[in-house]
Structures are given as structure tokens and as C-alpha cells.
């Protein structure tokens, strides 16, 4: 696996990690072959976001050894996709210890027949505990991206994620502010639902670069989904994000 691995994390859940990871991966396709590794054991959402249903790798899953079987990623939208969802039942809660989670992550990197990839985007689970730290350590990341919403609680949790990456010697390329101010689909006026975090308690005060502001998409009469079928202005934002990430990784 020679791909440049880009981890997408956030201390907080629900801020848009999976959405950003997938749309970034889509935008990176202009640069070469791209894979998506969904390591969110708690909520493996990438498969359903690209319409993969009932994919299960249940046979002969071995952790090591000469007869190790190599599983094939599922190809969708020109993306090679592997997900923890492929080894968990749909209603099965994550019930393994963090060391085993690390072993599974290792298998996903080295025990999968990945095609030659330029970039591998990894969707991490929310949080900064042992599970996340072990996963990050196994990934050999080229860099990490942090997703935040504008509000204080997202920044407070994201600060922990920044510290986690830094303590594991993984460079934080920058952060994406998701769900930032958007426009009302009815009257067109700018609206924001989150008050902004004070600068000194935000990740920006830790020297993290803001790479993109992705506006909150408000469901309206002609609204588009947040993944797939993006409207052109949103697609352009993700393309600009991908260009900044690529420029950062290649300099
Ligand atoms: N910019 C946006 N505008 C509107 N809705 C959004 C935006 N970004 C993400 N969403 C929606 O917010 C929800 C949470 O997004 P997502 O699942 O990507 O977050 P997450 O951080 O991966 O969550 P988890 O921590 O549970 O893995 C989803 O329903 C997604 O469609
Ligand atoms: Mg997610």
C-alpha cells in the first residue's frame, strides 16, 4: 500500500466527518486512484452513503498467517471502498477491545487487495480515546484533517483531536469548518445556526489552518443532498479543498 493516507477525524460526533471524507475522496479522483477506508466501528456510514447494501466479509477472516485471505474493496463511483461495516452485522454494536480494533485496521490496510492508489481517505470514529489512538497509529498517515462546526463544543472536542494527532506525530494539514453559515432556501438570506466559538478556545488558536468552509445545506424545495449529486458551488468547494490537500502533501 503506497497510497498517501489522509485521516479525517474530529473529537466530536455528527459534525460531518463521513460527509467530508467521502466528498473529499470524490474530489481527489481528478488526481488519480482513490480509496476510502471507513474505520468508524460505531457508525460505519460510508457504504450506505454510496449505496452499498448488505456487503459482508464473514468468511475466513484471519488476522495473520501465510494463508491469509485478501479481501477485495468494493468499487463504487470509481472509489475503492472498505468499511468496518463489512465485518459487523447491521444491528451489531461495536464490541471489541481497542487492540482488536487496531488489528482489524491493520488487516484493512495490509490484508486487503487494494488497487494501486494515489490517496486513501480514512473516516475515523468520533472521540480521542484508546481506540482512535490505536487506529491512527496503525494508519501511517501522511496527514490528518479535522472537521469542526463553528460552535464551541465542536472546537473543544476538536482541540483534543488536534492534540491526539500531534502527540502521535501526525501532521494536521488543516481543518474544515462544516455547517458554517448558509443561505435560506426561501428568502436567500445568510443564516447560521451555530454561534462561533471564541477564538482563544477554538482550534484556530492552536495554529490549525482553515482549509474550507462548507455551508450548512438547508433542506428546501430544490435542495440537494450533502453527499452525491452536490450542487456546483458545493462541488467546487470540495475541489478547492482537494487541491489544497494535494498541494500540501506534495510540497
Ligand atoms: N454541510 C452540511 N449541511 C447539512 N447537513 C450536513 C452537512 N454536513 C453533514 N450533514 C449531515 O449531518 C449528519 C452528520 O454528518 P456525518 O454523518 O457526515 O457526520 P459524522 O461526523 O461522520 O458523524 P459520526 O460521528 O456519527 O460518524 C448527516 O445526516 C449529514 O448528511
Ligand atoms: Mg461518520
Q: How does DSSP assign 138-178, residue by residue?
A: HH--SEEEEEE-SSHHHHHHHHHHHHHHHHTT--EEEEEEE
Using the atom order of ligand 1, give the atom closest to the CA of residue 147. 21
* pTM (two decimals): 0.94
CA nearest to 159, candidates 121, 197, 187, 188: 197
Give the structural domain span for 159: 4-16+18-249
Using the atom order of ligand 1, give the atom closest to the CA of residue 227. 31
Residue nearest to atom 4 of ligand 1 (CA): 217
Instruction: Count the domains in the chain.
Output: 1
Residues (pLDDT < 70) of the chain are 58-69, 220-224
The CATH number of whichever domain residue 220 belongs to comes to: 3.40.50.300
Terminal alpha carbon distance of the chain? 21
Mutational test site, ligand 1, from 14, 180, 214, max ligand atoms within 8 Å of CB:
14
- Count CB atoms within 10 A of the CB of residue 21: 29
Assigned C-alpha cell, 164: 491526539
How is residue 90 annotated by DSSP?
Answer: T
Q: How far apart are CA 21 and CA 46, in angstroms?
A: 9
The pLDDT of residue 65: 54
Q: How far apart are CA 38 and CA 87, in angstroms?
A: 11
The pLDDT of residue 69: 65
Amino acid at each position: 500500500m503506497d497510497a498517501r493516507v489522509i485521516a479525517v477525524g474530529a473529537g466530536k460526533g455528527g459534525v460531518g466527518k463521513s460527509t467530508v471524507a467521502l466528498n473529499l475522496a470524490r474530489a481527489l479522483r481528478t488526481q488519480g486512484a482513490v480509496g476510502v477506508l471507513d474505520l468508524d466501528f460505531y457508525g460505519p456510514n460510508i457504504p450506505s452513503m454510496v449505496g452499498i447494501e448488505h456487503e459482508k466479509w464473514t468468511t475466513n477472516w484471519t488476522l495473520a498467517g501465510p494463508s491469509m485471505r485478501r479481501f477485495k474493496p468494493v468499487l463504487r463511483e470509481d472509489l475503492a471502498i472498505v468499511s468496518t461495516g463489512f465485518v459487523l452485522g447491521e444491528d451489531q454494536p461495536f464490541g471489541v477491545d481497542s487492540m482488536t480494533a487496531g488489528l482489524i485496521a491493520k488487516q484493512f490496510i495490509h490484508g486487503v487487495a487494494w488497487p494501486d492508489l494515489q490517496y486513501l481517505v480514512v473516516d475515523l470514529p468520533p472521540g480521542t480515546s484508546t481506540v482512535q489512538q490505536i487506529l491512527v497509529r496503525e494508519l501511517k498517515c501522511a496527514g490528518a484533517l479535522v472537521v469542526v462546526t463553528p460552535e464551541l463544543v465542536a472546537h473543544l472536542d476538536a482541540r483534543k483531536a488536534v492534540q491526539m494527532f500531534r502527540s502521535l506525530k501526525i501532521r494536521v494539514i488543516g481543518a474544515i469548518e462544516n455547517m458554517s453559515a448558509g443561505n435560506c432556501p426561501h428568502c436567500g438570506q445568510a443564516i447560521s445556526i451555530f454561534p462561533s466559538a471564541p477564538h482563544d478556545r477554538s482550534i484556530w488558536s492552536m495554529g490549525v489552518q482553515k482549509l474550507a468552509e462548507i455551508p450548512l445545506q438547508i433542506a428546501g424545495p430544490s435542495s440537494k443532498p450533502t453527499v452525491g449529486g452536490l450542487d456546483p458551488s458545493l462541488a467546487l468547494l470540495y475541489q478547492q479543498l482537494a487541491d489544497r490537500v494535494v498541494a500540501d502533501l506534495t510540497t
